[in-house]
Chains A and B, each alone.
Chain A
């Protein structure tokens, strides 16, 4: 419970858990089916617990996960979301798209350790007054069993789970001589691209001020090309700079690792950059080492440049790419997955502690947003205040909402470059959250649809999408 709610409770003079405590449940219902179904329960004089407070929406498709969070933040002990049965939606597909959102949102809540007895989804038609009464009874019983919404826990002194180390071979090592050759190819290629006018700017890496660290550079001169570098310190996903670079030049060359190309595909699919204005330079990658050790995303990677790049640079030389061939198959045994499994094996209460402690560290510096190649909104929803979507407070109130929103906005879109986790000064394992949601999207809806022509998973739907969790 937030301080705000605490003060509200203080205001109400409520004690901790008084005898006969009744939960407060907020029900988000659609106008056409469930609201009318609840009317039906009334006209037939059914009785059910007075625990629910109804909020009427045109459609389940209008219900943002943020509204569910808002209900919890305002002190609801439980939330019930209810709408039309699949196929009966007044707007045909509103509930089907919503079902996908809710599926992923619920998975996220579960992963973060929310007691799922507090969060329910149901289909109740306009004729199902009895079902409405039953659903409210069942949901009330479940929330009553879960008890009053707890305060953010104090995790003082808690050791936390021991996550398995990320293990894997990683890309082949590149010898010093090869690395030098590769770097020379890069510099020469970049200079040629500028000189020939094939690119007005080359987005690459150069030496930074800290040992071993390379930093981004938008090279526009021959001199800057001579400073280009490549290696284990090339941490940044330069796709993030693509749009900026294209403001400076009609065409930009972009140095990309194979793992970063997906992010670019996402940007192209979402109309943010035009493929024809980019010249992709793929380099043989030795893997990156953000803090000495090889990054988890590299452990299953061969390091070969992505064949879809326009130019492929290996120690052997420069070749034209753009074959359109598929990338090497992604490693199925992702090193992060074992860590996710370890978190999932914890009881919900411990998952809650684990994530709450991480979110408590969150400074709301929005570096995760800033480095994310797929975060490009002109104004982030976190900066909007009519209404205040995300509480501005850098505490349990705001941080939890922010981290959930961020994760939801990347569900079905995140391409796993792990930049957010790399830059997070609080070491929040955003990579695990993103990866978990990617796995959930794949598990429920099949491949995440990361090609330019495909629909993103969360704007798509199928009639037969799974819905075991819906009452």
Chain B
């Protein structure tokens, strides 16, 4: 293994984390708040929940793509308007202990916000962000990263990677940013065992084996897209209640709404998360709604995760974290629905051929 790597015990890890907190960066990590684990800026290293398994309730995407942010603010003076851009760049930040699936989600966000016309606010934060992932030593019942091409120890979008090994952590540098973050801190750390590469590979196989879900083949993208008009969508989405838990906890969902929040004197153009499962998402002012049925709306979600990929992208937008499965009020399971939809569409195709 030619990468820079070390082995840290819990004490060394926390000490390093404490140093990071004291530094110039905001350090974001999973924290237990009122009994629920969420990503929060750390005040102390001890707050961080760093476990070999389990995940925060939702992804850390809000630290790059906030739930709500002002794109600009303005004030009135008579008929004149004065516009102020939001301040940037922000203080550099570290996303610490995020799961591989969460990091993969950031890569999906990059595809949206950094491709074509670059989003200035996202770009500024992204540039100032260092990602330290924590690999998984076990899968939760809802996990299915390996079914969509991910890995419990995936390296996508990670600058540094922690892998739980023997009660300690293997820390691997994956980018220049990661290297910079480690900096001098590595001085006292131990070198990794020689076979650590194989150990990680074994861990990956072990966790993958726990994930009982069938892989989603890449070629289903075309199948699903071809089945846009399939009647099965209405059936599969029949129990969807039209909330947006799935989209808001999703590491890769990136839809947003833009609204002016204003009073008589001033206002802001606010960008807030939005979701394709909401009825008003595509509702025209005229009352026309291209996606008037819950089947149509849920189809959009599934296809946008599994079928509609930009040219040159050879992966799904779903990263298999399974949060939407675990949290769906109606128990909808996107991995099962993709399988069912593909099967239904193929069968309809076969019927049509007959």
Contacts and interface: CB of A to CB of B under 8 A. Distances in A.
Interface in B220-247: 238-239, 241-245, 247
B266 A7 contact: yes
A371 B33 CA distance: 24
Interface residues of B, number: 54
A446 B228 CA distance: 54
Contacts of B249: 363, 365, 425
A223 interface: no
Contacts of B67: 363-364, 394-395
A393 B241 contact: no
Interface string B64-98: 00011010010100000000000000000000000
Contacts of B327: 423, 425
A392 B245 contact: no
B272 interface: yes
A8 B266 contact: yes
B331 A215 contact: yes
Interface in B133-155: 141-142
B336 A392 contact: no
A367 B245 contact: yes
Nearest to A213: B331
B106 to A, nearest CB: 18
Given A393-B68, A423-B245, A425-B58, A367 B329 contact: yes
Contacts of A361: 33-34, 36, 38
Nearest to A361: B38
Contacts of B75: 7, 11
Contacts of A210: 141-142, 325-326, 331, 333
A94 interface: no
Contact of A427 (B34, B257, B263, B265): B34
Nearest to B41: A156
B35 A7 contact: no
A394 B259 contact: no
A370 B329 contact: yes
Interface string B309-341: 000000000000000011101111101100000
B326 to A, nearest CB: 7
B178 interface: no
B239 A385 contact: no
Contacts of A217: 239
Given A157-B47, A366-B243, A236 B329 contact: yes
Contacts of B272: 364, 392-394, 398
Interface in A179-236: 208-211, 213-218, 236
Contacts of A306: none
B261 A240 contact: no
A413 interface: no
A26 to B, nearest CB: 13
B268 interface: yes
A210 B331 CA distance: 8
Nearest to B84: A7
Nearest to A206: B331
A153 B67 CA distance: 19
B241 A371 contact: yes
- Would you call the interface of chain A mostly helix, strand, loop, or mixed? mixed
A397 B57 contact: no
Given A7-B73, A209-B333, A425-B249, A370 B257 contact: no
Contacts, number: 146
Interface in A417-436: 419, 422-423, 425-427
Residue picked from B239, B245, B329, most chain A C-beta under 10 Å: B329
Nearest to B247: A365
B43 interface: yes
A137 interface: no
A426 B272 CA distance: 18
A241 interface: yes
A398 B259 CA distance: 12
Contact of B34 (A11, A74, A160): A160
B259 A369 contact: no
Nearest to A157: B43
A391 interface: yes
Interface string B11-55: 000000000000000000000011110101001100100000000
A3 interface: yes
Interface in B198-224: none
A74 B70 CA distance: 17
A392 B261 contact: yes
Contacts of A3: 70, 268
A178 B205 CA distance: 41
A359 to B, nearest CB: 11
Interface string A385-401: 10010011111011000
Contacts of A419: 329
A425 B243 CA distance: 11
B263 A4 contact: yes
Contacts of A213: 331
Interface string B297-317: 000000000000000000000
Given A358-B34, A392-B259, A427-B35, A218 B329 contact: no
A223 to B, nearest CB: 13
B36 A216 contact: no
A431 to B, nearest CB: 14
Contacts of A451: none
Contacts of B141: 210-211
A103 B44 CA distance: 43
Contacts of A358: 34
Contact of A209 (B247, B257, B278, B325): B325
Contacts of B168: none
A357 interface: yes
A157 B44 CA distance: 9
A383 interface: yes
Nearest to B274: A392
A392 B270 CA distance: 8
Given A213-B331, A367-B245, A392-B270, A383 B280 contact: yes
A301 to B, nearest CB: 22
A127 B333 CA distance: 65
B329 A371 contact: yes
Contact of A363 (B58, B70, B241): B58
A310 B70 CA distance: 55
Residue picked from A209, A366, A369, A397, most chain B C-beta under 10 Å: A209
A427 B325 CA distance: 17
A397 B259 CA distance: 14
B39 to A, nearest CB: 11
A217 B67 CA distance: 33
B6 interface: no
Residue picked from A371, A388, A395, most chain B C-beta under 10 Å: A395
Given A218-B239, A363-B273, 12 more contacts: A4-B266, A209-B333, A215-B331, A216-B239, A236-B330, A365-B247, A388-B261, A394-B273, A398-B272, A423-B243, A425-B248, A427-B34
19 contacts: A3-B268, A4-B262, A4-B266, A4-B268, A157-B44, A210-B333, A361-B34, A363-B58, A363-B245, A363-B273, A367-B329, A383-B279, A397-B261, A422-B329, A425-B57, A426-B38, A426-B57, A427-B35, A427-B57
Q: Which 4 A-B pairs have the closest CB atoms?
A: A215-B331, A394-B67, A367-B243, A370-B241
Interface of B: 33-36, 38, 40, 43-44, 47, 57-58, 67-68, 70, 73, 75, 141-142, 238-239, 241-245, 247-249, 257, 259, 261-263, 265-268, 270, 272-273, 275, 278-280, 325-327, 329-333, 335-336
